[in-house]
Structure 1
Amino acid sequence: MARDLHPWPTTEADAVAVQERLRAEVRVEEPPQVRTAAGLDVAYRDGDDLVAVVTVLDVATLSVVDSAVVRGKAGFPYVPGLFAFREAPPLLDALDRLSVRPDALVCDGQGLAHPRRFGLACHLGVLTDLPSIGVGKTAMGRYEPPGEERGDWSPLSLDGDVVGRALRTQRGVKPVFVSIGHRFTLDAACDLVLRLAPQYRLPETTRTADHLGRVLD
């Protein structure tokens, strides 16, 4: 599923260079119709042991229609801002094992809300050319609290740029932080997240992937 756009680097400098080069490949545009959405999550065990999980949901029913799991070891050290080089390779392996090709990727992490504007959601989106978004639990940047009602949002800014939104998915709960990965607009990304989060703070894509990873622990 992935395009061969770069070898996987082994040094921090080479990884940063890959991000700097590939961020020009990110496209901000209206996505095609999203009927299925994949949740992507990586859980760590002892040390660098990890489990990469992908679940594919029917957006209309929120039922899981496919899933894949890859166990392995992280091949890159823990460096803030370079998580994709630990997590993308096993997640791409998991995507390759699916029988249902998702219309969009929903990453448990960041997209443009990243110091070099190229977080995990951007990286996976560019490598697969699939529409992708990041839905983070914590903010990468500054924001004012959005209104308390479901659907309320406020801009998320980093170094003076708007890189995403703090989105309230449920009344009175903490917001999630939505950013574009690839082939999405912010409006479309937030609309999708709200469709995927009818009851809880986190979208069902994230919840099902996280649950499957825990079951396998």
Structure 2
Amino acid sequence: MIQIIARDVDGMMAHSIPDDWLKPADLKAATAAQRAIADAVEHEDRIGPVATVAGVDTSMKWRDTRGPIHAAVAPVAWPGGAALPPASLTMVPPIPYVPGYLGFREVPALVTLLDAMPRRPDLLLVDGHGIAHPRRCGIAAHLGVVADIPAIGCAKSLLCGRIEGELGPAPGDIAPLVDRGEQVGVALRMRARANPIYVSTGHRVSLASAIEWVMKLNDGRRLPLPVRLAHDAANAARRAAEDNIERRP
């Protein structure tokens, strides 16, 4: 078992997860782990008081599927949305990138980063899918369950399913995202004439609340503010790491 440490203002808490949830031996074990994680996802609200909402993203060198990833968590204060200092981490992940198994590449670095923060965020907005995944275990679901933090998936492209019905043109318009007869999220228009994003439950957040939170953090751009801040922080970490390599004699 792997122990995850949660630090907050009241001290430290720990919970354990199976080794395969972070470091599966092979894709067969990874698939079984994803199904177990999906079963552990809580689809209803269990959020608690929210003082910080954090965006989560990673960056990597273009087409470098085996090299390091650069993870970032970018919190904002709530209410108000004032940006707080982001945290970042560069790590070589345990497995290369495999489509559909992104969580195993990125979640180990993100959990390490969250464990190192003086106070973990109360809610995560993850650049990626929650349950809108073929095995209902996108990175937002994977991270939310492993870290035991409420999480929302905010993805820029579809991984599974299709939009049903007409998606209106105005900010806040939604249309169901359906996969094999099950609604797994929504397409959400964040600004007029922009492509939608795809919002889904990650963990401990209902779909209705996920939509509400994403719109609360909508400042007129395609992605909600915390996700954009995390994107910028992850790219900055990647550039810094690449600059350090170039400076080595």
Task: Give the alignment's TM-score, normalised by structure 1.
Answer: 0.94
- Residue in 2 that maps onto 1:157: 178
> Is the CA contact (8 Å cut-off) linking 2:74 and 2:226 kept in structure 1?
yes
- Residue in 2 that maps onto 1:4: 16
- Residue in 2 that maps onto 1:71: 90
> Is the CA contact (8 Å cut-off) linking 1:145 and 1:166 kept in structure 2?
no
> Is the CA contact (8 Å cut-off) linking 1:38 and 1:55 kept in structure 2?
yes
**Counterpart secondary structure, 2:136:** coil
Deviations 1:19-60 (A, max 9, x none): 112211111112334331111111002632211111111132
**Counterpart secondary structure, 2:132:** coil
Please point out which of 200, 208, 215 is paired with 1:179: 200
User: Which segment is superposed worse, 27-36 or 71-80?
Assistant: 27-36
C-alpha deviation, 1:197, in angstroms: 1.4
- Residue in 2 that maps onto 1:214: 235
> Is the CA contact (8 Å cut-off) linking 1:38 and 1:104 kept in structure 2?
yes
Please point out which of 225, 229, 232 is paired with 1:204: 225
Residue type of the alignment partner of 1:111: G
Please point out which of 119, 126, 133 is paired with 1:100: 119
Please point out which of 175, 186, 190 is paired with 1:169: 190
CA distance in 1, matches of 2:130, 2:15: 18
- Residue in 1 that maps onto 2:61: 45
Residue type of the alignment partner of 1:166: A
Indicate the structure (1 or 2) with the bigger Cα radius of gyration.
2
Unaligned segments of structure 2, at least 5 residues: 1-5, 7-13, 240-249
Deviations 1:45-87 (A, max 9, x none): 2632211111111132222224211111121122111100000
- Residue in 2 that maps onto 1:142: 162
User: Which segment is superposed worse, 38-47 or 86-95?
Assistant: 38-47
CA distance in 1, matches of 2:122, 2:195: 28
Residue type of the alignment partner of 1:162: Q
C-alpha deviation, 1:145, in angstroms: 4.6
Task: Give the alignment's TM-score, normalised by structure 2.
Answer: 0.83
> Is the CA contact (8 Å cut-off) linking 1:109 and 1:136 kept in structure 2?
yes
Alignment of 1:12-31 (within 5 A): 12-30=27-45, 31=47
> Is the CA contact (8 Å cut-off) linking 2:127 and 2:153 kept in structure 1?
yes
CA distance in 1, matches of 2:218, 2:144: 21
Unaligned segments of structure 1, at least 5 residues: none
**Counterpart secondary structure, 2:84:** strand
- Residue in 1 that maps onto 2:146: 127
| Cα distance, 1:43–1:60 mapped onto 2, change above 3 Å | same
User: Which segment is superposed worse, 198-207 or 23-32?
Assistant: 23-32
CA distance in 2, matches of 1:124, 1:215: 22
Query: How many residue pairs end up in the alignment?
Result: 217
C-alpha deviation, 1:194, in angstroms: 0.7
| Cα distance, 1:99–1:64 mapped onto 2, change above 3 Å | farther
> Is the CA contact (8 Å cut-off) linking 2:77 and 2:83 kept in structure 1?
yes
CA distance in 2, matches of 1:145, 1:57: 33
CA distance in 1, matches of 2:177, 2:50: 24
